[in-house]
Amino acid sequence: MQQRGLEMREALVAADPLNIDLRLMLNESHRYVGDLLFKSGEIEQASEHYGKELALTREMVAADPANAQFRRNEAVALIKVGDVEAHAGRPAKALSNYNQALRLREQLCATSPQDLSLRRELDEVRSKLSK
Please state, in angstroms and rounded to a whole number, the distance separating the CA atoms of residues 17 and 76.
Answer: 22
- Name the pTM for this structure: 0.92
Instruction: Grade residue 24 by pLDDT with cuts at 50, 70 and 90.
Output: very high
19/16 Cα distance (integer angstroms): 6
The number of folded domains in the chain is 1
For 61-100, what is each residue's pLDDT tens digit?
999 999 999 999 999 999 999 999 999 999 999 999 999 9
Residue 18 CB partners (closer than 8 Å, separation 6+):
none
List of residues 6+ apart from 44 with CB closer than 8 A: none
Domain carrying residue 21 = 2-129
Q: What is the CATH number of the domain that holds 105?
A: 1.25.40.10
Residue 5 has pLDDT above 90, yes or no: no
Which of 87, 62, 86 has its CA nearest to residue 73?
Answer: 62
